[in-house]
Amino acid sequence: MATFFFHEETLPPDDAGHSTLVRYYYDDIAAEALTRSFRLLSSGARMEFIDNERIPLADLRPDLKVLVRDSLTQRERSDLRLAS
Amino acid sequence: MDVNTGDLGFPIWLRLNHFVNLFCIFFLMRSGLQILADHPKLYWNDHCRPGSEWVKFGKKKMPANRLFTSMDEAEDVSPVFAIPGGHHNLGAGRNWHLLIVTLWVLNGLSYVGLLFASGQWRRLIPTSWSIVPEAWHSALTFASLHTPPPSSFHPYDPLQQLVYCAVVFILGPFMIMTGLAQSPALIARYPWYLRLFGGRQGARSLHFIGLMLMVGYVLTHLVMVIMVHFPRDVDRMFTMFSPPGSSPAVASVVAAAALIFVIVCHVAATLYTRRRQRGFQSGATTIVEPIVRLLFGRLWSYQDYDSSAVTAEHHVNGYPPENADYRRVAANGFRDWRLRVTGLAERPLELSLDDLKRMPKHAHTAMHNCIQGWTGIARWGGVRVQDLLHICRPTPQAKWIVFHAFVQEEYAPEHYYEAFRLEEMSDPQTILAYEMNDQPLPFRHGAPCRLRLETKVGYKMVKYVQRIELVASLDQVGFGHGGYREDHQFYDKVASI
């Protein structure tokens, strides 16, 4: 376990009418969240990668911190189940 | 001192070559630092065992009690020192390096060609051994914080001439040679080439040492231009379209403008690369990829290292999948795993691991070259991709082959994939490997099978392969740039260096 996906959300459309999809990952070695942002193109299901950013855990939005904590707990339990 | 140089002057082509070199060299240094930051460790051995590095940059400490990947070891780097700076912007750093090195080499070749064609070589290459004691005398003069008189410069001082000669005819070619040794395609075709440098990591370390020498030379050169008989050398190099000496004030202004121009270019290039990563990738790869394909695209791998060369602790990138789909097939030794070959094939396939093992097996011991810089040597066994293609028979419309992996959590909800031109599968050492070092492929190395294409850097060699797809166009693959790394991290898709 190191970097894993835990959340995604779609931001409202910009002036050009493009929405942005942001996927959140957690890197449990660096204790940082990693975001990958995608522009959702109007031509159906296509999207285009924009960039990624790293956010220290301390700077992460409180609701996302809860999601990280829940994911970590769930994954820990899953590891324990496998180990048993 | 060789005084038979006559009045060689400083022709316009020489001044232009000098300026292009000035323009290129800082881009090469900054993009080189960006590449180094992704695996900021240097070794003298090709196994890259943790702790065996001779120098390490950065402060990261990796956990000792759990799996970590070399991606976790990458360091952030300031955009002041590197282009484009930031975290793991390796794709853009590489594209800048390859783009500028092309210009730098062309500039260097034209410079050397014109040196010999015009007789200007006599300004650099000594023709008498007397230059050695004279250069030593000059060095002692500089060391005592004095300056040799203007009459010692013909047009260069003996020490200056020796240093310039060494930089142009030794350090420059040395950087090109050690840089070429970073190409997995070149060293897979000609493994002897690596022995010139003591291995791939030896070449990488020497390339770094060459960079340090180049930095030292550039700094010393700038200081000496200012300290020794200023503004004579500025006047020689920056009186662009008039005879040197005719307008020293103009030359100083042009020199200052040239430096400001280079700085502005760096700032603009850094900002553009960070803000328009896709645009830069598209522009740079349009130039770089055809050159890389021309130089390395037709090289096949002829590697077969001795078994004693196998790396004990082989680095890895990418964590094994943890999801239910993968765990289910892994739980029973991949007996229920099926490799599907789909798309533009006359005969789509669905093969079990046993089916693959019943096909002719090919094994070779080869060096893995990660794009980050580390290496490892392992013996890989499996089935040639070419044999699979003979069975499934691609249709005439099929131009690209795409390898799709199981979903890994670090890429979820997407999965890892990489695409290749169909003809790139012709290399006999391109296999779908199900064995590593004569054992079933370990989980961390991509069980049940992974691609081995020894003329490419590691990110193209998809692990945890689940499906192979034949397509007519890259538009049908991910975001259309050639693979997961190309789509998400702006890498180039040729990956032969």
- How many CA atoms within 13 Å lie on the side-chain side of B134? 20
- Which residue among B246, B261, B296 closes a domain? B296
Residue B85: domain span: 12-39+74-296
Residues B193 and B316 in one domain: no
Both ends of chain A: CA-CA distance in Å?
17
The CB-side HSE value for B139 (13 A sphere, CA atoms) comes to: 10
With contact defined as beta carbons under 8 Å apart, do B83 and B272 qualify?
A: no
Total residues belonging to chain B: 497
Asked if residue B280 is part of any domain, the answer here is: yes
Residue A84 has what pLDDT? Answer: 46
Average pLDDT in the A28-41 region?
89
Q: What's the CATH number where B140 sits?
A: 1.20.950.20
Q: What is the pTM of this model?
A: 0.91
Rounded to whole angstroms, what are the CA distances from B43 to A72, B58, B314? 36, 15, 14
- Pairing state between β B400-405 and B465-471: antiparallel
Do both B291 and B330 map to the same domain? no
Q: What pLDDT is attached to residue B242?
A: 64
A5/B contact by beta carbon, under 8 A: yes
Between CA B410 and CA B402 the distance in angstroms is 20
- Residues B196, B92, single domain; the answer is yes
Which chain A residues touch B487 with a CB distance below 8 Å? 49
In this prediction, the residues of chain B whose per-residue pLDDT falls under 50 are: 1-6
In a domain, B58, yes or no: no
Q: Please name the residue ranges forming H helices in B1-89.
A: 12-38
Same domain, B284 and B418: no
Would you say residue A81 has pLDDT above 80? no
A18 touches chain B (CB under 8 A): no
- B466 contacts B416 by C-beta, under 8 angstroms: no
**Number of domains within chain B:** 2
Alpha helices in B12-125 (DSSP H): 12-38, 90-118
Question: B397 and B285 share a domain?
Answer: no
pLDDT in tens, B178-192: 999 999 999 999 999
Are the beta carbons of B63 and A48 separated by less than 8 Å?
A: no
Tell me how far apart the alpha carbons of residues B145 and B180 are, in angstroms, rounded to a whole number.
40
Is the Cβ pair B72, A4 closer than 8 Å? no
What pLDDT is stored for residue B53 in this prediction?
A: 95
Best to test chain B binding among A18, A25, A39, A51 (most B CBs inside 10 Å) = A51
Q: Which residue in the set B67, B409, B488 is minimally distant from A5, CB to CB?
A: B409
Are B337 and B353 contacting, i.e. CB atoms less than 8 angstroms apart? yes
pLDDT of residue B261: 95
Shared domain for B150 and B278, answered yes or no, is yes
Q: Higher-confidence residue: B375 or A41?
A: B375
CATH of the domain at B338: 3.90.420.10
Q: Residue A77 pLDDT more than 70? A: no
User: What's the CA gap between B437 and B99, in Å, rounded?
Assistant: 38
Q: Looking at residue B2, what is its pLDDT?
A: 41
Q: Count CB neighbours of B80 within 10 A.
A: 10
What CA–CA distance (Å, rounded) separates B359 from B385? 11
B271: helix, coil or strand?
A: helix
Q: Are residues B458 and B329 in the same domain?
A: yes
**Domain end position, chosen among B254, B275, B296:** B296
Q: Where are the domains of chain A?
A: 3-83
pLDDT of residue B58: 86
Q: B396 — contact with chain A (CB < 8 Å)?
A: no
| Closest residue in chain A to residue B413, using alpha carbons only | A5
Three-class SS of residue B2?
A: coil
- The answer to whether the CB atoms of B319 and A1 lie below 8 A apart is yes
The pLDDT score that the predictor gives to residue B241 is: 61
Q: Of the candidates B250, B266, B296, which is a domain's last residue? A: B296
The residues near B247 (Cβ < 8 Å, ≥ 6 apart) are B239
Nearest chain B CA: its distance from A48 CA (Å): 6
- The three-state secondary structure class of B417 is strand
- Indicate if B329 and B462 belong to the same structural domain: yes
Residue in B60, B411, B475 to test binding to A, most A beta-carbons within 10 Å: B411
Cis? peptide before B442, omega within 30° of 0 = no
